[in-house]
Amino acid sequence: MPETPQMTLPPTPADRAAAVGPSKTVATWLSFALGSWGAHRLYLYGWQDKLAWLHPWPTLLGLYGVHRMDVLGQDDRLAWVLIPLLGLMLAQSMLTGIVYGLMSDERWADRFTPGQAPRKTGWGPILGVIACLMVGGASLMATIAFSAQRYFESQVEAAQELSQ
């Protein structure tokens, strides 16, 4: 009796993505869009990554500092400490996006898809790097300017109190 051939369904996009591994383009853009929340690490390393779960806390503290300054005004000293946390988390996630986007395809394949041939990524990661450079640079400059301004204002206030 002849054997009947079995029909196989073509792989779905999800099957192909799971077989290929994480995309450099997706990791770069996740780092840009949700990096301060740790989404890029969850994408690359999974739900068990402890560093991914540490990302939201400084981000939330920084957002709380922004809220405190909005409600209590610029003289709230706790907000002075908390707001730079948000800026630093944004800057570090943008730097991570730059590192991911500029990593060579061969190194990406060795690190995140071992045993598979590197795939060409095209312009997606490069555009992500450009976005990360713009937002990360602005975030870091704003954080440094805010911190320096608050520090020097506190020094002037202390000097004025001593002179009175």
> How far is the C-alpha of 133 from the C-alpha of 131, rounded, in Å?
5
User: Residues with Cβ < 8 Å from 95, sequence gap 6 or more?
Assistant: 132, 136
Q: Using CA of residue 125, residue 122, residue 42, residue 103, what is the dihedral sign?
A: negative
Helices 124-163, 77-102: inter-axial angle, 10-degree rounding: 160
CA distances 26 to 33, 35, 38, Å, are 10, 12, 13
Tens of pLDDT, residues 96-135:
999 999 999 999 999 998 888 888 889 999 999 999 999 9
9 vs 152, which has greater pLDDT?
Answer: 152
User: How many Cα atoms sit within 13 Å of 46 on the Cβ side?
Assistant: 4
Given this model, what pLDDT does residue 57 score? 96
14 pLDDT band, cuts 50/70/90, is low
Q: In this model, does residue 7 exceed pLDDT 70?
A: no
66 pLDDT band, cuts 50/70/90, is very high
Report CA 2 to chain centroid distance, whole Å. 58
137 vs 20, which has greater pLDDT?
Answer: 137
74 pLDDT band, cuts 50/70/90, is confident
Mean pLDDT across 42-47: 94
3 vs 16, which has greater pLDDT?
Answer: 3
- The amino acid present at 97, given as its one-letter code, is G
Task: Take residue 25 and report the two structure tokens written for it.
Answer: 């383009």
* Cβ(95)–Cβ(140) below 8 Å: no
> How far is the C-alpha of 99 from the C-alpha of 41, rounded, in Å?
13
* Cβ(39)–Cβ(59) below 8 Å: no
Per-domain residue ranges of the chain: 23-163
Given this model, what pLDDT does residue 52 score? 94
Q: In this model, does residue 12 exceed pLDDT 90?
A: no
